[in-house]
Structure 1
Amino acid sequence: MKQTNIIDELIESGLFGEHVAIEAVKGGAINRSFRLLANDTQYFLKTFELNHIAPSDRQALFIQQAQLADHQKAAKPIYLSRSHDFQVEEWVEHTSLLNSSLRHPDKITFLARVLWEIHQLPTFALSIDLPKNWMLYLENADDPDDVYWLDRIDKCKPAWIDTHKVDQVLCHNDLAMEHIALTEPAVIFDWEYAALGNRFFDLASCALINKLDEHDTIALQTHYAQLCGLSTEYVFEQCQLQFPIVALTNDLWYLVAKTVKKDIG
């Protein structure tokens, strides 16, 4: 979406005044991020570049983020575009967990606690059909080796069906250290993949997204088990079931993201 179109819509909304400017800031692999300046106030603006491939209920996610903001776990959302392809929310000045001066072991402990706190929140999230998303990603990606991907999907789908509705909690599903602000209390960003799901998928996803080695992954699982009052053996066992599902989801997402990034330049 062109920046001029975004600015025009923001002005037309009547929420940001007549003098609106946006400047690019570091974003994710695909979605673009901006600092929005309006009426001497700054906001955060994010585009949703994959929305046309794996459609999400952005209105429901907007409401969900507002509820999370009420629980002091998210930045307050301000505006969702008419086409649901960008969102404006409060600007939160912060240092991320990734860039903090905490010792690395302490970062792992902090990460486990944030996961545990998210999983305690009221389950007002929607569920997702992950196998459906896998197929949508595959259909929209530039990759001729469908046999390889379909074989991985066939192997992971039964495990996902068996475990998805077990021990369901609100899951963030993209909890990178850079998505955690060391505010008081800690604010978490990028809730666009949040959904109701198996807590151990979220735990395994957190380990993969943060590229934790075996030692750090064990530490993350151990701290999480202690916080939940679960045996470490049980947590390890459940995460082992989720790692192949998480890896497939991550690989297919990056496959289609590469295609979209090429298309949008």
Structure 2
Amino acid sequence: MKQTRIIDELLASELFGQQLDLEPVKGGAVNKSYRLTTQSQHYFLKTFELNHITPTDRQALFFQQQQLFDLGISPKPIYLSHAHDFQVESWVEHVSLRNATKSNSEKIQLLAKVLSDIHNLPTLASSIDLPKDWLLYLNAANVSEQEYWQNRIEKCKPDWIDTHKVDQVLCHNDLALEHVALTNPVVVFDWEYASLGNRYFDLASCALINKMDYHDISMLQHYYAEFSNLSEHEVFEHCQTQFPIVQLTYDLWQAAAATVTHDSVSS
């Protein structure tokens, strides 16, 4: 996405003044992130590069983030572009949980606490059809061995159907250590994939995204069970069901994202 088009739309909105500067900052694997500077303050701006692959109701997510801001756990969303392909929100000065001067066990304990807190939030979030997204990712990805991917989808689909509406809570679905800001209170970034879903899918996603080994996963499950007043054994068993579903989702998303990145570089 051209920065000039972003600047032109922001100027036309008359919400940010007439002197604007966009500075790239470290972001995700596909979406681009910027610090938007005006005459008086800074904002965070993020582009959405996969809209054409997975149609997403950005307006609903914008309203959902407003609700989460009111609950004190999210930056304030300020502006959603006309095409719903970029968003501006408040800039939060912070140290991320990843960069915090804490031990590994302390980081995992706090991560479990944040995840448990998210799962207890009231929300108007909508559910998602993950098997539909799998097919969208697969169609967008430049992969061979279609039969291999279809077999994985067919193997995971019954477990997703059986568990999706069980233990259903607000799920972040992308709770990386760098998405947790050690502010007071803690603020969480990147609600792009938030939805209603099975709590153990979100827990397994958190473990995968943060590249946890077996020991770290065990700690995460232990602390999550403790903070959520759940049986540690049940948490472990339910996560075992979710790990293949999460891995399939992650693999297909990565394949689709790699294709988008390659195409944008080639063009």
How many angstroms apart in 1 are the aligned matches of 2:264 and 2:70? Answer: 35
The 4+ residue runs of structure 1 with deviation greater than 3 A are none
Give the drift of 1:123.
2.8
1:167 aligned residue: 167
Gaps of 5+ in 1: none
State the secondary structure of the residue aligned to 1:89: strand
Report SS of the residue matched to 1:54.
coil
- 1:6 is aligned to 6
Which residue identity lines up with residue 182 of structure 2 in the other structure? L
Q: Are 2:163 and 1:127 aligned? A: no
Q: Aligned runs of 1:209-220 on 2, under 5 Å?
A: 209-220=209-220
Shift of 1:20: 1.0
Q: Residue 114 in 1 paired to residue 101 in 2?
A: no
- What is the alpha-carbon distance in structure 1 between the residues aligned to residue 218 and residue 124 of structure 2? 30
Q: Distance in 1 between matches of 2:39 and 2:69?
A: 23
In 2, the alpha carbon distance for the partners of 1:158 and 1:258 equals 28
In 1, the alpha carbon distance for the partners of 2:97 and 2:80 equals 27
Q: C-alpha separation between the residues in 1 aligned to 2:149 and 2:178?
A: 30
CA contact (8 A) 2:109 2:223 kept: yes
Structure 1 distance, partners of 2:2, 2:136, is 25
Tell me, in whole angstroms, the C-alpha distance in 1 between the residues paired with 2:77 and 2:106: 30
Return the letter of the residue paired with 2:179. H
Report the residue type matching 2:194 in the other structure: A
Gap regions ≥5 residues in structure 2:
none
Q: Displacement of 1:91 after TM fit?
A: 0.2
| TM-score normalised by length of structure 1 | 0.99
Tell me how large the CA RMSD over aligned residues is. 0.6
Give, in whole Å, the separation in 2 of the partners of 1:23 and 1:226: 42
Task: Kindly state the Cα deviation for residue 236 of structure 1 after the two structures are TM-superposed.
Answer: 0.4
- After TM superposition, the score normalised by the length of structure 2 is 0.98
Answer yes or no: is the 8 Å Cα contact 2:67–2:123 preserved in 1: no
Instruction: Give the Cα separation in 2 of the matches to 1:254 and 1:40.
Output: 38
1:186-201 equivalence runs, <5 A = 186-201=186-201
Equivalenced residue count is: 265
What is the aligned partner in structure 2 of residue 65 from structure 1? 65
Indicate if the aligned counterparts of 2:95 and 2:181 stay in contact, CA closer than 8 A.
yes
1:62-119 CA distance string (max 9 Å, x none)? 0000110011100000000000000000000000000000111000000000000000
Whether contact under 8 Å (2:77, 2:88) holds in the other structure is yes
Deviations 1:36-68 (A, max 9, x none): 011221000000000110011000000000110
User: Identity over aligned residues, as a percent?
Assistant: 64
- Which residue does 2:30 correspond to in 1? 30
Question: In structure 2, what residue type is equivalent to 1:53?
Answer: I
Partner letter of residue 153 of structure 2? I
Partner of 1:20: 20
CA distance in 2 between counterparts of 1:257 and 1:226 reads: 36
Tell me the distance in 1 between the aligned counterparts of 2:146 and 2:136: 12
